Structure 1
Amino acid sequence: MAAQSATPREQVRNFLPQRICEMIDRSPLPLWDEAEEIRLRLGRPLALHGRTGDLFLAASGAAVKPEQAYKPDRSDLERALQLISSSSLYAFEQELRCGYLTVPGGHRVGLCGQAVLEEGRVARLKHITGLNYRIAREVIGAALPYVSYFVDYHRQRVRHGLIISPPRGGKTTFLRDLARCLGSGAPELGFRAFKVAIVDERSEIAGSFQGLPQLDVGFCTDVLDACPKAEGMMMLLRSMAPEVMVTDEIGSEADAAAIEEVLHAGVAVIATAHAGSLAELQSRPGLRRLLQMQVFERVLFLGRSRGVGTVEQIIDPRSGKVHYRCG
């Protein structure tokens, strides 16, 4: 894992136009510390998103109504593209095909514009008119109070687990820290470091830049970045001999088939999925298949009862036993 001495603020401002940085600097609010997204849309209001919702920013740094906000122009977007691509978008053609670039620090910049198709598939983007800076923030220790529920101490193995919540519920943040705990071990909790392998299809778990994780995912953790989940699980199974396979946002039939192969190899699986309940999970064929097979030994539900990312409940879906309930 790459050592990170710079703060998210220092990292992100290296890839934002100076004019935009100065507007955020002028705000009396702690925007650099609280913002989760900074959105630049051509000719439309400059917007920041945090835990309390959306905020529109004037050139003075004041929070204002959308119609009063600063509206990024073509020069702002061109400068932003120069900064995130080191002045060479062509060199990032593969990343552009996916619609985002990851920059040092693990921060991801999503892009919108006009898709260029070749043989019916997206080859690249042009006329880019929107950028979304998603600021990566680690929450070290978020999973530590709950990691023991995922460890079978008697057999010295990790239990198969699924972390679920509605979108933007903190799943990836929790998953990252759970991988860190398992990959580093916790002698104070009585378990060793496990060999963890992460398939990070969208570069959100480890926030890798040029293949190197920018976020802490554990000492004994290997990361396969920007690879489709199903294919990546097979690659890691063959090449890295993991004890635990970790991946984000499963749901397809291909994901389910790959997870079956991982299970047959005796490797634990920990994943996330978008859902608010087990009933919602059942509506997706791939997940329904895994639930019917009684794959998962622990399902952890995240909610917002005490803020985003609250662990609401941990259950054994096979027996229905509740192992933890918030409050």
Structure 2
Amino acid sequence: MRFATYNVEWMNSLFDEDGQLLNDDGWSSRHDVTRAAQTDALRTVFRALDADAVMVIEAPDNSRNRDTIKALQTFARFADLRAREAVIGFSNDTQQEIALLYDPDVLTVLHDPLIHQDAPRFDERFRIDLDIDATQDDVVFSKPPLELEVETAQGLSLRMIGAHLKSKAPHGANNRDEVMRISIANRRKQLAQAIWLRARINGLLADGHPVVLMGDLNDGPGLDEYENLFGRSSVEIIMGTGDTALFDPHARQALQRRLGAMPTTARFWIRPEQRYLQALLDYIMVSPDLAGHEPVWRIWHPLDDPDCWAHSALRDALVTASDHFPVSLDVVL
């Protein structure tokens, strides 16, 4: 079985309001990339992945005039994918949804949000004291995680969660003081979301469910100077510790190696510095029971993965399609 997570930058811009592909020479929302070029690149990448299920981060918008499922299934037909059915959970107002494309011949998938005493549904509010002032704050997800019940054709049931945590970037800051204030506030909120997510995972594990957590956590060890203020990254919180710790080898490697080369899943152009920044943002974490099923992880990085580098069409497509690269997990189920 192959699961994958893929953050597709502004996929929404590739569709009209009827969910049809805008496969033309108009500009996409990626810099200097036409819609046709991005669409063709995505077809190449998704076909190379050939996954049984892909957690699409920044999936097309779901709103009064737009339908995420219709758009994704249109793309699946265009690309001739096995993963041709789509499911979405709680939609949001960012035009960047979380959705799963999956192969209905091998998987049965149901959006199944749960309620736990320590973790409300992801479309509700989570109360926590964020700044140690003895006053509880209301935390909400701008992009509520997608919580799924998944059953394989062989009858194995597992819980799958797709997540896209809040970015720490200080959007809207006009000076250094505002950068610091917004960055700290954003990190507090992100850590609160991570605590909420980990509470849900604890409940699922306590009930005996295998768990797969996939998505863009917008965080990793050592990514900014504010991490030391809070002691842990949101990645560490979600992974947990001890017998119930989730496992992702790339996260583990990054946590153990604060200096030196680390795996990366995203590549951003930093205009003021005229260079690219690479970061580890995308993860597939599995519960201890699934970690015993011969899992193999792969980051489809066009410059770091030898097979991606060797196939020029795939290498170029990965660069054109998005500023993130897919992460896949092959596991025997």
Is TM more than 0.5 here?
no
TM-score w.r.t. the length of structure 1 is: 0.32
Bigger radius of gyration among the two:
1
Q: Between the two structures, name the one with larger relative contact order (CA 8 Å, sep ≥ 6).
A: 2
**Which structure's residues are more often strand, by fraction?**
1
